[in-house]
Amino acid sequence: MLGRSVELARLDALLDRATGDARGTARDEGFRDSGRSRLVDITGEAGIGKSRLLGEVCARAHRRGMTVLRGRATEYERQVPFQVFTDALAHLDPHTLDDFQETDAVAPLLQRSGAVDRFGLHRSTAVLLARLAAPSGLLLALDDLHWADPASLELLDHLVRHPVHAPVVLAVTRRDRQSPESLAARLTRGLDAGTVVRLGLRPLSAHDCAELAGLGLPPAETAALYAASEGNPFYFLTLLQAHRGGTTPESSAPPGLGTLLLDELTVLAPSRRGIVEAVAVLGEHATPAMVSRVTGRSGTAFTVDVHALTRRDLLRSAPQGLLTLRHPVVRTLVHESTPFLRRVEIHRLAAQELARAGASAAEQAHHVEQSLTAWDPAAVAVLDEAAARTARTAPASCAHWLDVALRHLPHTPEHAARRRELVLRRARALAACGGLRESRDLLHELIATPRRTSGGPTTGEDQGLRVRAVVLCALVERHLGRCTEAVALLRRELARGPAPADVVRLGLELGSAAPQDSDTSYTQVRTEVEAALAAARSTGDEVGEAGVLAVAALGEAYEGNMSAAHGLARQAAALVDSLPDNDLTALCEPLARLGWAEAFLEHYPDAERHAERGLDIARRSGQLYVVPHLLLCLSHVRVQTCRISSALELADQAEDIARGIGSDQLLAFVLASKAAALVAACPPGDPRPLAVAEEAVAAAGTGVDWWASTAWCIFGWAALMAGDPVRARDAMLQAGGPELQRIQPSMRPLYLEILVTAALVTGRSEEARSWAERARKEAEQLGLPMLRASALRSAAHLPLAQGDTAAAADLFAEAAAESARCGAVFWEAYSLLLGAPLEALAGRSRGGTHAWLRGRRLAEAGGSGMLVGLADATRPPGGDSEAPYGSPDRAELTERLATLTARELEIAELVAQGLTSQAIADRLYVSRRTVETHVSRTFRKTGVSSRTALATLMARRRTGSRFGDARTEQPERGPGALGGDQ
C-alpha cells in the first residue's frame, strides 16, 4: 500500500464512524447524519491500484468486525441485470435471509426468479442493507463500476439519493474516463450533497516505485522502468517482472503493457492457453467444472494445468470457487486476442451447460447472445424469454436482448408479425428506462410500416398492434413534452376509421393528452371523447366505458366545469367499484385520472380510495409509467388533509420513478408536488422547499404547458413562504401569463391567494384587491368549499391591511369552516391560525384561543412544520399554557439548547427529521424506552410539548430564523405570516 496513506486514513475514519454508529458511540461534528450510509468513490486509471486499495479496506473492515460484501462488475457481461450486486450478495450465508420479510422483493439480486417492481426492489435493497449492517456495520464494496449494467447503476443511484439509515459504507471503484455520464453525474451530485466522498488515486512517486522494486535493482534501471510506467503500479510491476525474466531487450525502450502481458501467453502449452482463454470468455461462469467442460480437459491433467497457471499468477481463485485472471486488464487482452470462432464456441458450450443445469433464460442470455451468428429459433426464444423476465426489473437489458433478437430475425413475410410485436415490446422497454427518443423513433417506424402479414390483406391483429403503437407513441410524446404532436397523431389515427374497440383506446389517450397541451383544451377534444364513450357503450365494454368516463371527468374538472365533472365522476366511480381488479388492469391510467378528478372536486376519500386501488394494480401488472401519477394524486390528497409525512414519502417514490423514466416534464410535475409537500412539512427557515421548487422549474424548461405552469405555481408558493414575495409574484405571472390563462382553471383561486398576499406585502394594494375579487368570482363559479376558503382568505387580507381586524377575523373563521366541510384539514388549520390573533384584537379572546388551540392541534397531528411555526408566531395573548413554546429570542433559544446533553441534542435532531422513537432506537441501537426518556427530558428542558414544536425549535437553531419574533407585529402586517421574515 505504498503511497496510499492519506486515502487509507480517510477510509479508516469512515469505517470507525460506521462501527461507532453501530455501537451508538459516534461523536463528531456531523452528528445530524450519524447512522446514515456514506459512499466512497475511488477513481483512477486502469492499474493505478483501485482494486488493491479496495481489498485493503475490506480487510480493515473485517478486522473491525463489520460485515463485508464485495462484488465486481465485468467488462463483457454489461447486460446481465444487477450483476455487481448479485456478485456481492453471493458472499452471504444462505441462512442470513431466512426470516427476512422482503426476500421476494430483492429476488433478482439473489439470482432467484420473481416478477417485482424495480423501484420497490430499490427500497427493499436499502432495507436489506440496513439489516445486514446490524450489529457492527456493513461494508459493501463494488469494484470496476464503470462496467456495471444499467439496472445496477440505477440501484446505486437510488442508494446515493436515499442514504440508508444504518451504519453502512459503500465503497466503489471506477475508471474516470470509462464511467457512464449518468454515473459520474450522480456521484458528483452526491459529492455536493455530502453523501459521497471521492478519492482520486494518483500515480506512485519515483521513491515509491524504487521501494517497490527493492534493493536488487540498480537505481538507473529503476528510474527507466518508472519513466516508462509513469508511476502506474500495475504497469511498473509488469515491466519489473519482464525485466527480471530477461524478456525485455536492454537496447530498446520498454515494450507496452499489452505486449508484455501477451508475451506471457506465448510460452504456454496449447492446453493451458485454452484454459486461460476459457476463463477470460466465461467471466462470472468460470467455475472449474464449466472451464473443464468447455476446454475438454478433466481429471488430473486439468488440475495440474490449473495449478501451473496459478503458480504463474495468471489464474487466481475467487470467492464461490470461480477462476479469474489476475487483473481485468489481463482479461481484456486475453479476451480480445482469443480467435473469434473460439470465443463463439466457448459461449455456445457455456449456454448448453447452463440450459442443461436448469439456469434461467436471463442467466443463459449473455452466452446465447455471444454465440449467435445466424438465425437460430431456439436461441432467439431464450433471448425473448430473458427479455420478458427482465422487462419490469431491468428494462434496459430487456431492450438490449430484444434488439439482438431483432437483428437475427429474418426479414421475410412469415416473420413480419413477430418482428412488429418485438419492436413494440422493445419500444415499451426503452420508454421505461429513459430511452424515450429512441422509443419514439421505433414507434414512428412501426406505425409507418405497411400493415400486412405474409403478403396478404390487413388483419384485425395488424390493426390492433398499430393502434397499440399509436397509443404508446402518444404517451411517449407526452413524456417528451410534445403534447401537440401526441394529439395530432391520435386524431390522424381516429380519422382512419378504426374499429369501435380502437376508438375507445384512442379516445382515452386523446382525453388524457389534451389538458396537458398548451394549444389544445379539453373542450376541443370533447367530441372525440364522447365518441369513444358511445363506442364503449355500443359494444358493451364496461371497462372501456369506465375509463372514458374517468378521463372525461378529469377533463371537465380541469377546465372548471364542476357540474359536469361531478356527474361523470359519479358514473365512473360506480362502474369502477363494480369491476374486479383483473378487469381494471387496462385502466390504471384512467384510475389515476379518476383519482385526480375526485381530488379536484374535493372528494378526498374517494380520490384516495381509487388512487390506492390503481396503484396496487399498476404495481402488480408492471405499468410503471402511470405509478407516479397515482402516487402524486395520493400525495396531493394527503397534503390537503394534512398527513404531511405520508405525502412527502409518496412524492419521494414518484421522484425515483420519474428519474428512471427520463421525462423532464414528468420530473417537473413530480418535483413540484414534492416541493408542495415540503412547504407544508418544513419548519420556517428550511431551504429545501424552495430548492426543490427551483429544480422543478428547471426541469420544466421554457415550456408553457400544464407541467411547466404547475411547477411555476408551486415555485411561487415556496418563494412566498421563504419570504420573497417579489419572486413569488414573478413566478405566478410566469406560470399563467398576464391574465393567468395558462393556470389550471379549477385551481386558479388557490393560486390567486399567492398573488394577493405578495401584492399586499410589496405595497400593491389595488392589485391585491383586483386579484382577490377575481378569486371570489372564480371560486363562486366553481362552487367548491376549499376554493371558496382560499378566496375568503384572500378577501380577509384586504380589511386587515386597513386595520379592520374584526372583519378579517370573521373571514378567516369562515374560511376555516369552509375547509372543514370538505375535509381540507391543512387549510382549516391554516385559516384558524391566521385568524386566531385577530380574534383577540377584535375583543374575542376566548374565540381566538379556541381557534389557535384547534389549529395547533391539527398542525401537530398532521406533522406540518410550517403550520406549527405559524402557530408559534401567532399565539394570541392569554394562549394556553401548554403551548409548544412561545417565541423565544436568540439568547433564550441558545440558553434552552445549552442545557441539552450531546445525546439529547442528537435525538432532538433525529426527531426534527421526522423519525419515530422506534426508528431512532433502531438507528442508535438503544431501546425505545431510552429514546422516549431522552425525548421527555428534552421537552422539559426546552419548554416544548410536542415533536413538531421541537422540530421547529431545531430548525431555528440551524437557520437563525426570526419567524417567531414577528408575533407582536402580525396583526398590523396581515399577510406577513405567509412570507416568513418580511
Is residue 49 over pLDDT 70?
Answer: yes
Confidence of residue 228 (pLDDT cuts 50, 70, 90): confident
pLDDT value for 956: 63
pLDDT value for 92: 86
Is residue 458 over pLDDT 50?
Answer: yes
pLDDT value for 885: 34
Across 606-651, the runs of DSSP E, i.e. the strands, are: none
pLDDT value for 153: 93
Q: Which of 260-269, 659-668, 962-971 has the lowest mean pLDDT?
A: 962-971
Please state, as a whole number, how many other Cβ atoms lie within 10 Å of the Cβ of residue 409.
Answer: 17
pTM for the whole thing?
0.78
Partnered with residue 39 across adjacent β-strands are 170, 196
Confidence of residue 523 (pLDDT cuts 50, 70, 90): confident
State the cell numbers at 396.
Answer: 434496459
Helix (H, G, I), strand (E, B) or coil at 169: strand
pLDDT value for 948: 60
Q: Is residue 685 within 8 Å of residue 980, measured between CB atoms? A: yes
Query: If you average pLDDT over every residue of the chain, what do you get?
Result: 86
Is residue 853 over pLDDT 60?
Answer: yes
User: CA of 509: how far to CAs of 490, 512, 521, 601, 634, in Å?
Assistant: 8, 5, 14, 22, 22
pLDDT value for 959: 52
Closest CA relative to residue 119, chosen from 502, 477, 654, 640: 654
Give the model confidence (pLDDT) of 276-293 as tens digits: 999 999 998 999 999 999
- Average pLDDT of the residues in 942-957: 66
Q: Where are the alpha helices (DSSP H) in 168-267?
A: 181-193, 206-213, 219-229, 233-244, 257-266
Give the model confidence (pLDDT) of 299-344 as tens digits: 999 999 999 999 988 899 887 788 999 888 888 889 999 999 999 9
Could you give the CA distance from residue 308 to residue 9 in angstroms, rounded to a whole number? 38
pLDDT value for 519: 65
* Helix 181-193 vs helix 150-161: crossing angle, to nearest 10: 10
Give the model confidence (pLDDT) of 525-550 as tens digits: 899 999 999 999 999 999 999 999 99
Could you give the CA distance from residue 41 to residue 927 in angstroms, rounded to a whole number? 34
Q: What sign for the dihedral angle of Cα 399, 400, 401, 406?
A: positive
Please state, as a whole number, how many other Cβ atoms lie within 10 Å of the Cβ of residue 538.
Answer: 12
pLDDT value for 694: 96
Could you give the CA distance from residue 489 to residue 474 in angstroms, rounded to a whole number? 7
- Average pLDDT of the residues in 805-811: 93
Is residue 947 over pLDDT 80?
Answer: no
Could you give the CA distance from residue 870 to residue 827 in angstroms, rounded to a whole number? 13
Spell out the SS3 assignment of 3-23: CCHHHHHHHHHHHHHHHHHHH
pLDDT value for 639: 97
* pLDDT more than 90, % of the chain: 55
Confidence of residue 628 (pLDDT cuts 50, 70, 90): very high
pLDDT value for 31: 36
pLDDT value for 193: 77
pLDDT value for 455: 46
Is residue 977 over pLDDT 60?
Answer: no
The one-letter code for the residue type at 744 is Q
Give the model confidence (pLDDT) of 165-207 as tens digits: 899 999 999 998 889 888 888 898 888 778 899 999 999 999 8
**What is the secondary structure of 60-106 as a DSSP string?**
HHHHTT-EEEEEE--TT-TTSTTHHHHHHHTTS-TTTTTT-TTTGGG
The alpha carbon of 364 is separated from its chain's Cα centroid by a whole number of angstroms, namely 30
pLDDT value for 962: 35
CA-CA-CA-CA torsion for 520, 526, 527, 528, nearest 10 degrees? 70
Could you give the CA distance from residue 122 to residue 58 in angstroms, rounded to a whole number? 24
Q: Which of 269-273, 447-451, 741-745 has the lowest mean pLDDT?
A: 447-451
pLDDT value for 775: 95
Could you give the CA distance from residue 408 to residue 405 in angstroms, rounded to a whole number? 5
Give the model confidence (pLDDT) of 462-502 as tens digits: 788 999 999 999 999 988 888 889 999 999 999 999 999 99
Please state, as a whole number, how many other Cβ atoms lie within 10 Å of the Cβ of residue 410.
Answer: 11
